[in-house]
Amino acid sequence: MMKLPGLTLLVALLGLTAAPSVSAEKLVILHTNDTHSMIDPDTDDLGGVVRRKVVIDSVRKAEKNVLLVDAGDFVQGTLYFNLYRGEVEQKMMNELGYDIRILGNHEFDNGIYELADLLADSRAEMLSTNYDLSQSVLGKRFRPFTIREFGDKQVGFIGINLRPEGMISEGNYDGVVYLDAIKAANAAAWWLKNIEKVDAVVAITHIGYDPTMPPGDKRLAQLSEDIDVIIGGHSHDLIQPSPEASARLQPRVKNADGREIQIGQLGKSGKYIGKIEIDLDNLATNYETIRIDKRLDGRADRKLADMIKPYRRGVDSLMRVVIGKSAVELPKGGERLLNFGADFVFERGRKLVGDVDLAIVNKGGLRRDLPKGDITEGMIITLMPFYNYINVLEIKGRDLLEAFNVMAADGGNGVSDNVNIKYSKKDGECVEVLINGQPLDLDRIYRLATIDYLAKGGDYMSSLKRGKLIAKGDKVLYDDMIEEFRHGMFKGKTLNPSDQPRMKNID
């Protein structure tokens, strides 16, 4: 008999009751992931919860057996979260009628205690198979699996989460014990198939499709025997059904038995909703991605729209306050935005200690683009929405190199304009690092300006934890930047940052 990952999981697996039975042979799963507080449509006029509800209601009217599930990161990304701390998103998920949810890493952004208070109002069933939450404030809210019955068929659902260390800020996940994702998933799926005798197992995950730091959904599928469908999140990959699928993002992956496993993921910001149909007689699946766009506006739910209006006034007020201008667009993930962010951190570090050698920022910390033209206070808050602070560290060159190698494996991040790096993404390592035109000295102590999330080992840059903290800013990062627009380096200036890459991939 396969050993289950931990006594707490084994105990929790016993005695769970199934939901009331309904008659059918087909199950339709509607799913979302990484909606990131996108209550309204994005700047490209895609997404929005009012539109999403039109699709959900339509499918529920057409099909007998529909489950609505979410694969995590339902918060963090717009002013709705910064102003109302998840209240709006939680209300919307209840109104849309989510049946099953799992955690993403950003659910922990305000700390585990505030998360527990927020989820107390959730009407959905909360799953986590590979987090032992028994010693945390979340313990009573979560189950390791659930079983739903459809006619004479049973479907088991499990929830698989990423390793919190290096991804969630220290202190925000107190009491959470991580269990190996692959072992926990396979143990729970084996239990469901062999002991509970379910007909199908669906894994809802927040580990990414094929991430730099494994495992991901692709690997989970390859190493599984009892999982039939994977509904994923975290990596913001839009997995399209064939023939639209890309070579990298395959919607079907063969498992350890050579059987094809359906995988779905929908990018980010709620611009799509996924629809997976499972024939419960033969486990055949059909996967569809539904675009959430303006064609749905004519069928909007007025009650839901009216619920949002009072919150939108606060959001709109910040988005109208102009504090600066840009000569060019700064696209999210682009070189201009990375260079702008890194140079800002460099200058703020200098204000703290007088002199620094370099600065680094992570592209994941810059959450939106900046447009050509007016820049508003609300844009800056949503650009850097986290409660991060400027840190200045004294750190050895060899520890810096370790961090640069992690950045290389991730396809590069932001460095200040006095740094030039050549790296191999394929090999995950740097081949040349120049600071002020000089090769990195492994034994020298450098002064590094960065954000506290990275200084504490975030984004898997654990070597930065070996640095000595010598200064810390007293304002949240977005307040620092707003101050620079109003009174400092950006006042009266039109932004036009360089578009030249400072970390260059030699591959």
Coil/strand/helix, residue 417 = coil
Would you say how long the chain is, in residues?
507
What residue type is 422 in one-letter code? Answer: K
With a cut of 60, say whether residue 17 has pLDDT above it.
no
Residue 247: the pLDDT is: 85
- pTM of the entire predicted model: 0.91
Measured distance CA(344)–CA(346) in Å, rounded: 5
Query: What sign has the CA pseudo-torsion 290, 296, 301, 302?
Result: positive
Q: How many other C-beta atoms are found inside a 10 Å radius of the C-beta of residue 3? A: 8
The 10s digit of each residue's pLDDT in 411-437 is 999 999 999 999 999 898 999 999 999
- The residues near 319 (Cβ < 8 Å, ≥ 6 apart) are 79, 376, 377, 378, 379
Show the tokens assigned to 471.
């200064």
Question: Do the domains spanning 28-313 and 322-505 agree at the CATH topology level?
Answer: no
With a cut of 70, say whether residue 451 has pLDDT above it.
yes
**What is the CATH architecture of 28-313?**
4-Layer Sandwich (3.60)
Confidence class for position 232, pLDDT limits 50, 70, 90:
very high
Are 375 and 437 spatial neighbours (Cβ–Cβ below 8 Å)? no
Q: Could you tell me the CA-to-CA distances from 436 to 81, 356, 392, 497 in Å, in that order?
A: 40, 11, 18, 19
Q: What percent of the chain has pLDDT over 70?
A: 95
What residue type is 472 in one-letter code? Answer: K
Domain coordinates in residue numbering, the chain: 28-313, 322-505
With a cut of 60, say whether residue 146 has pLDDT above it.
yes
Show the tokens assigned to 14.
């016993």
Q: What is the DSSP string of 132-171?
A: E-TTSTTGGGEESEEEEEETTEEEEEEEEE---TTTS-TT
Measured distance CA(105)–CA(35) in Å, rounded: 13
pLDDT (mean) for 187-201: 98
With a cut of 90, say whether residue 462 has pLDDT above it.
yes
pLDDT (mean) for 364-375: 95
Q: Poorest-confidence range of 24-33, 130-139, 390-399, 410-419?
A: 24-33
Q: What percent of the chain has pLDDT over 90?
A: 92
Show the tokens assigned to 311.
């919150």
pLDDT (mean) for 301-313: 96
Mean pLDDT, rounded, of the chain: 94
Class of domain 322-505: alpha beta
The 10s digit of each residue's pLDDT in 263-279 is 999 999 999 999 999 99
The 10s digit of each residue's pLDDT in 319-334 is 999 999 999 999 999 9
Residue 244: the pLDDT is: 78
Confidence class for position 16, pLDDT limits 50, 70, 90:
very low
Coil/strand/helix, residue 91 = helix
Helices vs strands, H then E, count in the chain: 13, 27
